[in-house]
Amino acid sequence: MLVGDIETTLTPDEMHYARQQLGREPNALEWAMIDAEWSEHCSYKSSKPIIEQLPTTGKRVLVGPGYDSGVVDIGDGYVLTFHIESHNHPSAIDPYGGAATGIGGVVRDILCMGTTPIALLDALKFGDIARSDHSKWLMKNVVRGIADYGNCIGVPTVAGEIEFDECFERNCLVDVACLGLGRKDELLLAQATHPGDSIYLVGGSTGRDGIHGVTFASRTLAVDTEKERSAIQIPDPFTKKLIIEATLEASQARILRGCKDLGGGGLTTGLSEIADKGGTGIQVYLDEIPIREPDMSPIEIMISESQERMLLVVVKGCEETLHRIMRKYGVSASCIGDVTSTDTISVKRSTETLASLPTGFLANAPIIDRNSRLPKPRKHEAEPKPPSDLENVLLHLLASPTIASKRWVFRQYDHEVGIRTIAKPGDADAAVLKLPNGKSAAIKVDGNARICDLDPYVGGASVLAECCRNVIAVGAEPVAWLDHCQFGDPNNEEIFWAFSQAVKGMADFARTMSLPCVGGKVSFYNQDEETGKAIKSSPVVTVLGLIERPEHVTKTSFKQDGEAIVAVGKTKRELGGSEYYHTLKLDGVRPPILDFEIERRTHTAVLDCIRNGLITACHDCSQGGFAVSLAEMTLAANRGVTADLRELPRDEMRDEELLFSQSNSRFILATNDPKQVLESISRHEIPAAAIGKVGGNSMKLTLPHGSLESGLDKMRAAYDDSLQRILEPWQN
Amino acid sequence: MKIAVIQFPGSNCDRDTVHVLREVLKLDTELVWHNEFQGNTFDAAVLPGGFSFGDHLRGGIIAAHSPATKAVIEMANEGKPVLGICNGFQILIEAGLLPGALLRNTSLKFVCKWMDLRIMSEKTAFTCALKKGSNMRMPIAHNEGRFFAEEETLNRLEAEDRVVLTYTGGNPTGTSRTIAAIANEDGNVVGMMPHPERSSEPELGGTDGLKIFESMMEWARC
């Protein structure tokens, strides 16, 4: 909506509300500030009523949603912080810069809690890279952007997930999660509580990059996206590295009262949020803000999203110490304002007040009560015919980009820096990081757009369940999680319905597991304006787990020949949303069901076995089904396996259905003591069976109606270099 | 023996290296901010990995012209052990303490990978506790680690026992003659692309890297 010569995304209702609250017509600068702060991206005005149903409290939770990062108490005076951000819209236009600045943003979220970033994870979604050159280009540059930025700032990229589906062709999803470590008594919050404290802007100068970034992210991508280029920020990892060092040193010197990352909405959002949380006001002096270009208008300065900037609330009288620390690192620091007791955000240029808005009004956008509508039921699909050659199907699945080894990607990431990475990419179902108190952190991100598309409620819950299984598989107890909801245009009632259902599914499952959600993110408008096509519902979750003792760390790889294979959980005839169906260009009608109670008991049963030292290798059974998961274990160990799948706890079904069904609540374990493992698991009333042994050079499976054998070499050829063959066929 | 780990703006393996020297090997080690570095108060110096000065212009070149590196050159001339790891190797080359150049990997991509290495010389300050011809495992993580020198230089390095480590089982970066580490003529200055500090604790994948630092102790004793 146009106000004077300012283009805003505010609705007539919101503008009416603003005028009513203020009792006057806001000026152009004030409209621009309201527009930035009330954007969907910053205000969560559509999603707030829905995400409020997520459980957020737990015995380890120190800080839950609403701050820059969630904070989890890990004992002995230490805390872990974690947060997730997406940079979907920028990455769709400038994949290299978009992905890089996405890391910059989430790293600042960790930093402003006074904690050190110790790991990055990314969840990426692209179109069909085997067919689309555009998606190939996006993927290569997103990965290079993450590598160049993450490697330079010295934070290891330790895990992730990548999904490929045609629906992401024009709207790739680029999510980055960051884990931080700090001391409980050094925690900072993004709030300005004490009038008289100084507000400092440190780091980069303010330029025209990232202008209207949040309003850009709060609508669908236009046909002529090149015009949006000024909405994308410019990455500078070297400056970021210096800011990390300088901010942590200032935080440890105890001269900071609060700290806030400047991301979406720029200064406007940063200032209004720290004042609102602190119950104060802020007086900003526009002339003190270092600007990159001489003729920037007050509006541009107040909403610019230039990267590598932090807001620090400095304890009165400690300004000189701050300057000394910033000088050491060559980081510029300017006092741009004061904390006041006026409950007003006011912007001054010399003596003239350019804007003056009540803190609470600016920081809290009116909530939008959106309608939702149940979509029409799916058409029934014809059942596929049985394949003529099971081995071909297996090899095809192992080479499919979603399943194939992600080595091409993670080789480009420094996953070792920081010397904490115990389970490295490709080693295990989740990353494992050494902590200073003898425990280890396990962390993983997961999503599955295909099952969420079939049923967002079951899909949302299943994505969280799978991510928990990944964390359990490495020997960790899940302690907290983050949600991240990515959907199309929320004005579409069916999309808003899917969003509500996905959140409800995650919330219900999290309550069953007593697993608190400590933060998250909502990204709407992932939709192509030209075709009107939205992405499939894509909730992504990050689960953090704790491993009590180093000997509990469990990886995917078998240790020696002769180990017994134990299958945990029942395989049902559930192929909806499976990779197997996807290779046949089928969606299916229903996703695999998720029985929350069985899932919970399965987690306890497997974790008990691991903690009792019975398990030598563990893998969650998910994408690609039982056959693919078992094949991944053989490839990790370079040891074959012989197994009889007639023994598998299962329903009656065809062989290919048994091999590739993606039923929930299943694990594959290796053990030297199958008797005790089976006894232990049966106490939790979970089905399990010893089905075979490790050894040989192939995966040899006896099936109810036939058999399947595939050599390690053949499977490796399909699995290992599939991404390389697609992305860089000219490299060997 | 007092060891300095020099921290440039953009170094990112500095604390990892200090951790291993101080906590694992219990050596007297100090993390020194580059413009506070005084060579004469230390017996050995380590230039850690990372992206000093953001790798602007090219990897290592700005740090190579800093006062800190001038002090490192003096230490090297006095025969004190000087180790450059990854970006530190780039700095030593740019500073003229070691020959050749480190070019972009032939894959044009960053490579992070555990590698098998062979010890080619035991006449250096950082391999004197190791056996020539034996193997070790350490990870590499870099974009510009393809060692390059003219044939004549390569021949001389080999003839003078100054090729310190080579990759075995593949050449991850396209480096000349699979070279991963080289030394100066006296053997007290070594530059290496692999990260010994990342191979110093068993739960992280191995402890072969410790022998690099233990060699430095042995060198100082004789």
What DSSP string runs through A295-352?
T--HHHHHH---SSEEEEEEPTT-HHHHHHHHHHHT--EEEEEEEESSSEEEEEETTE
**How many residues belong to chain B?**
222
Say how far residue A649 (Cα) sits from the centre of its chain.
34
Mean pLDDT (whole number) for A406-413: 97
Between CA A159 and CA A295 the distance in angstroms is: 44
Between CA B163 and CA B181 the distance in angstroms is: 6
CB contact burial A483-502 (16+ within 10 A = b; e otherwise): bbbbbbbbebeebbbbbbbb
Beta-carbon contacts of B81 under 8 Å, excluding residues fewer than 6 positions away, are B43, B44, B45, B125, B126, B188, B189, B216, B219, B220
Helix, strand, coil shares, percent, chain B, to 5: 35, 30, 40
Per the DSSP assignment, residues forming a β-bridge with B85 are: B192
The answer, yes or no, to whether residue B52 has pLDDT greater than 90, is yes
Mean pLDDT (whole number) for A437-463: 97
Q: Determine how many CB atoms are found less than 10 A away from the CB of residue B91.
A: 30
Contact between A465 and A457 (Cβ < 8 Å): no
Q: What is the pLDDT of residue A263?
A: 80
Taking each helix axis as running N to C, give the angle between helix A712-719 and helix A390-399, from 0 to 180 degrees, rounded to the nearest 10.
40
For chain A, say whether B195 makes contact (Cβ under 8 Å). Answer: yes
For chain A, say whether B107 makes contact (Cβ under 8 Å). Answer: yes
CB–CB contact A419 B107 (8 Å) = no
Q: Which chain B residues contact residue A421 at CB under 8 A?
A: 204
Between CA B49 and CA B53 the distance in angstroms is: 12
pLDDT, tens digit, 9 for 90 and up, residues A540-599: 999 999 999 999 999 999 999 999 999 999 999 999 999 999 999 999 989 999 999 999
CB–CB contact A419 B110 (8 Å) = no
Find the distance separating the first CA and the last CA of chain B, reported in whole Å: 13
What DSSP string runs through A201-256?
EEESPB-STTTTHHHHHTSPBPS-GGGGGGGS----HHHHHHHHHHHHHHHHTT-E
For chain B, say whether A166 makes contact (Cβ under 8 Å). Answer: no
Chain A residue with the nearest C-alpha to that of B196 = A419
Between CA A201 and CA A313 the distance in angstroms is: 9
pLDDT, tens digit, 9 for 90 and up, residues B152-187: 999 999 999 999 999 998 999 999 999 999 999 999
Catalytic residue (one of B13, B34, B86, B144): B86
Using only the alpha carbons of chain A, give its radius of gyration: 26
Please state which of the four CATH numbers 3.90.180.10, 3.40.190.150, 3.90.650.10, 1.10.287.610 is assigned to the domain occupying A376-404+556-732: 3.90.650.10
Per the DSSP assignment, residues forming a β-bridge with B179 are: B166
Active site residue B218: no
For chain B, say whether A234 makes contact (Cβ under 8 Å). Answer: no
ipTM > 0.90 (yes/no): yes
Interface A–B counts its CB contacts (< 8 A) at 85
Range A188-362: architecture per CATH: Alpha-Beta Complex (3.90)
Name the residue ranges covered by the structural domains of chain A: 188-362, 376-404+556-732
Contact between B126 and B191 (Cβ < 8 Å): no
B203 min Cα distance to partner chain A (Å): 6
Six token digits for residue B222: 């004789």
CB–CB contact A328 B33 (8 Å) = yes
Q: Which chain A residues contact residue B12 at CB under 8 A?
A: 152-154, 241, 417
Distances in Å between the Cα of A490 and the Cα atoms of A14, A142, A257 are: 17, 26, 37
Does the pTM exceed 0.80?
yes
Chain A residue with the nearest C-alpha to that of B112 = A411
The answer, yes or no, to whether residue A42 has pLDDT greater than 90, is no
The answer, yes or no, to whether residue A227 has pLDDT greater than 60, is no
What DSSP string runs through A684-698?
TT--EEEEEEE-SSE
Of A152, A237, A416, the CB nearest to B198: A416
Six token digits for residue A508: 């219900």
Give the burial class of A648: count Cβ atoms within 10 A of its Cβ; 0-12 exposed, 13-18 middle, 19 or more buried.
buried
Between CA A287 and CA A285 the distance in angstroms is: 6
Mean pLDDT (whole number) for A63-88: 94
Give the burial class of A2: count Cβ atoms within 10 A of its Cβ; 0-12 exposed, 13-18 middle, 19 or more buried.
exposed
CB–CB contact A417 B55 (8 Å) = no
For chain B, say whether A406 makes contact (Cβ under 8 Å). Answer: no
Contact between A524 and A489 (Cβ < 8 Å): yes
Q: What is the pLDDT of residue A5?
A: 62
Per the DSSP assignment, residues forming a β-bridge with B166 are: B118, B179
Q: What is the pLDDT of residue A2?
A: 59
Six token digits for residue B25: 């090997």
For chain B, say whether A434 makes contact (Cβ under 8 Å). Answer: yes
Give the burial class of B35: count Cβ atoms within 10 A of its Cβ; 0-12 exposed, 13-18 middle, 19 or more buried.
exposed
The answer, yes or no, to whether residue A666 has pLDDT greater than 80, is yes
Q: What is the pLDDT of residue A293?
A: 87
Q: What is the pLDDT of residue A225?
A: 54
Phi, psi dihedral angles at A79 (to 5 degrees): -130, 155
Alpha-helix runs per DSSP H in chain B: 14-19, 61-64, 67-77, 87-94, 151-159, 210-221
Q: Determine how many CB atoms are found less than 10 A away from the CB of residue A137.
A: 14
Beta-carbon contacts of A195 under 8 Å, excluding residues fewer than 6 positions away, are A280, A281, A338, A339, A340, A341
Q: Which chain B residues contact residue A204 at CB under 8 A?
A: none
Phi, psi dihedral angles at B166 (to 5 degrees): -130, 155
Alpha-helix runs per DSSP H in A455-521: 456-473, 493-513
Name the residue ranges covered by the structural domains of chain B: 2-221
Between CA A689 and CA A687 the distance in angstroms is: 7
For chain A, say whether B48 makes contact (Cβ under 8 Å). Answer: no
Q: Does domain B2-221 have CATH number 3.40.50.880?
A: yes
For chain B, say whether A410 makes contact (Cβ under 8 Å). Answer: yes
Between CA A57 and CA A55 the distance in angstroms is: 6
Mean pLDDT (whole number) for A411-429: 97
Instruction: Identify the residue among A243, A414, A721 best suited for mutation to test binding to B, counting B beta carbons within 10 A and taking the highest.
Output: A414
Catalytic residue (one of A83, A87, A212, A684): A87
Q: Which of A594, A617, A277 is nearest to A429 (CA)?
A: A617
Of B9, B50, B112, the CB nearest to A416: B112
Between CA A219 and CA A228 the distance in angstroms is: 12
Give the three-class secondary structure for A661.
coil
Q: Which chain B residues contact residue A419 at CB under 8 A?
A: 16, 19-20, 197-198, 200-201, 204
Confidence category of residue A8, pLDDT binned at 50, 70, 90:
confident
pLDDT, tens digit, 9 for 90 and up, residues A252-298: 999 999 999 888 889 999 999 999 999 999 999 999 999 988 889 99
Q: Are strands B44-47 and B82-85 parallel, antiparallel or unpaired?
A: parallel
Between CA A85 and CA A46 the distance in angstroms is: 18
Q: What is the DSSP letter of A474?
A: T
Chain B residue with the nearest C-alpha to that of A410 = B112
Phi, psi dihedral angles at A520 (to 5 degrees): 165, -160
Q: What is the mean pLDDT of chain A?
A: 93
Instruction: Give the whole-number percent of chain A exceeding pLDDT 90.
Output: 85
Q: What is the pLDDT of residue A232?
A: 63
CB–CB contact A417 B9 (8 Å) = no
Six token digits for residue A533: 């096509």
Beta-carbon contacts of A351 under 8 Å, excluding residues fewer than 6 positions away, are none
Q: What is the pLDDT of residue A210?
A: 63
Confidence category of residue A383, pLDDT binned at 50, 70, 90:
confident
Chain A residue with the nearest C-alpha to that of B197 = A419
For chain B, say whether A147 makes contact (Cβ under 8 Å). Answer: yes
A616 min Cα distance to partner chain B (Å): 16
Using the Cα atoms of residue B95, residue B100, residue B102 and residue B104 in order, give the sign of their dihedral: positive
Q: What is the pLDDT of residue A528?
A: 83
Of A329, A417, A550, the CB nearest to B141: A417
Q: What is the pLDDT of residue A617?
A: 98
CB–CB contact B53 A154 (8 Å) = no
Give the burial class of B164: count Cβ atoms within 10 A of its Cβ; 0-12 exposed, 13-18 middle, 19 or more buried.
buried
Per the DSSP assignment, residues forming a β-bridge with A230 are: none
Q: Which chain B residues contact residue A152 at CB under 8 A?
A: 10, 12, 51, 54-55
Element (H, E) at A16: helix A12-22
B31 min Cα distance to partner chain A (Å): 14
pLDDT, tens digit, 9 for 90 and up, residues A313-372: 999 999 999 999 999 999 999 999 999 999 999 999 999 999 999 999 999 999 988 999
Of B20, B107, B112, the CB nearest to A414: B112
Instruction: Identify the residue among B52, B56, B112 best suited for mutation to test binding to A, counting A beta carbons within 10 A and taking the highest.
Output: B112
Q: Which chain A residues contact residue B197 at CB under 8 A?
A: 419
For chain B, say whether A549 makes contact (Cβ under 8 Å). Answer: no
A564-568 β-sheet, strand order: A615-620, A667-671, A564-568, A688-694, A641-644, A698-702, A707-711
CB–CB contact A415 B112 (8 Å) = yes
Of A152, A411, A419, the CB nearest to B19: A419
| Residue given tokens 């303490």 in the structure block | B97
Element (H, E) at A445: strand A440-447
The answer, yes or no, to whether residue A58 has pLDDT greater than 60, is yes
Active site residue B197: yes
The answer, yes or no, to whether residue B50 has pLDDT greater than 60, is yes
Q: Which chain B residues contact residue A119 at CB under 8 A?
A: none
Between CA A712 and CA B166 the distance in angstroms is: 30
pLDDT, tens digit, 9 for 90 and up, residues A10-33: 999 999 999 999 999 999 999 999
Active site residue B86: yes
Contact between A334 and A326 (Cβ < 8 Å): no
Six token digits for residue A5: 């010569």
Using the Cα atoms of residue A641, residue A549, residue A160 and residue B172 in order, give the sign of their dihedral: negative
Mean pLDDT (whole number) for B3-13: 98
CB–CB contact B16 A419 (8 Å) = yes
Q: Which chain A residues contact residue B112 at CB under 8 A?
A: 410-416
